[in-house]
A and B are shown apart, each in its own frame.
Chain A
Amino acid sequence: GQSLEQPSEVTAVEGAIVQINCTYQTSGFYGLSWYQQHDGGAPTFLSYNALDGLEETGRFSSFLSRSDSYGYLLLQELQMKDSASYFCAVRANGQNFVFGPGTRLSVLP
């Protein structure tokens, strides 16, 4: 089977740095994606890692270690608008995607 684990909640203050971890167990692995979802909204794509290492996109970075079946999303210079749920997702065998349970990030003033 396929399973992904994430912390359920993370809280941080404006301007801080926060890391959201994701561990996965899948049969087959093509890559790890991250999505952001605001309350009442649809998920929006943030980043993707197929190979080990760090990918940086502005204030957001994503890391993958395939040998550890582990990745994380790093959010820097937190802003209030970053308060949302963050999901990791894996494309395992085939073309379907498996999403994690999500991490709810609360950014405090």
Chain B
Amino acid sequence: DTGVSQDPRHKITKRGQNVTFRCDPISEHNRLYWYRQTLGQGPEFLTYFQNEAQLEKSRLLSDRFSAERPKGSFSTLEIQRTEQGDSAMYLCASYGGSGETQYFGPGTRLLVL
């Protein structure tokens, strides 16, 4: 257990529906990352927050994706009008700023039917 939690752990939805995932990072960590991982691939960067500010977004992140981190604590990732290609594992990682260690949560596995 890394101290990073994600909810839900699994989500099955129908194409066109909206889904929202939550990540609770390690409390004293000010940086939070979201990644997407498909089978047999490495994690793909989506976006990251420094406290409550979203500082960088991947160009691969379509406008159907939005993320927030109100008050610099937990974060949510919303996908609107889901598509089958959104099926993946969504990982969040907590980073405290010392060294290069990112602490990953267990992930949310999304299946879009």
Asked if A31 and B104 sit within 8 Å, CB to CB, the answer is no
Which of B35, B99, B106 has a CB less than 8 Å from the CB of A48? B99
**Using Cβ atoms and an 8 Å threshold, which residues of chain B touch A31?**
100
Query: Bound state CA distance, A67 and B108, in angstroms?
Result: 38
Asked if B100 and A43 sit within 8 Å, CB to CB, the answer is no
The number of residues on chain A lying at the interface, defined by a beta carbon within 8 Å of a beta carbon of chain B, is 23
User: In this assembly, does A63 line the interface, its C-beta being within 8 Å of a C-beta of chain B?
Assistant: no
Asked if A101 and B101 sit within 8 Å, CB to CB, the answer is no
Asked if A43 and B56 sit within 8 Å, CB to CB, the answer is no
Asked if B101 and A45 sit within 8 Å, CB to CB, the answer is yes
Query: Bound state CA distance, A55 and B105, in angstroms?
Result: 26
Which of A42, A48, A96 has a CB less than 8 Å from the CB of B100? A48
| Known A-B contacts A48-B99, A48-B100, A94-B56; A101 and B2 likewise in contact (beta carbons under 8 Å) | no
Query: Bound state CA distance, A45 and B91, in angstroms?
Result: 14
**Using Cβ atoms and an 8 Å threshold, which residues of chain B touch A97?**
33, 45, 102
**Using Cβ atoms and an 8 Å threshold, which residues of chain B touch A44?**
2, 104
Tell me the B27-62 residues at the A interface (CB within 8 Å).
Answer: 31, 33, 35, 40-45, 48, 50, 55-56, 58
User: In this assembly, does A57 line the interface, its C-beta being within 8 Å of a C-beta of chain B?
Assistant: no
Give the distance to chain B from A101, nearest Cβ to Cβ, in Å.
5
Asked if B40 and A43 sit within 8 Å, CB to CB, the answer is no
Give the distance to chain A from B4, nearest Cβ to Cβ, in Å.
8
Tell me the B52-110 residues at the A interface (CB within 8 Å).
Answer: 55-56, 58, 91, 99-107
Asked if B45 and A42 sit within 8 Å, CB to CB, the answer is no
**Using Cβ atoms and an 8 Å threshold, which residues of chain B touch A42?**
2, 91, 104-107
- Chain B: CB-nearest residue to A89: B42
Give me the 3 closest cross-chain CB pairs, A-B, nearest first: A99-B42, A42-B104, A48-B100
Q: Mind listing 7 A-B residue pairs with CB under 8 Å?
A: A4-B42, A31-B100, A42-B91, A42-B106, A43-B91, A44-B2, A91-B100
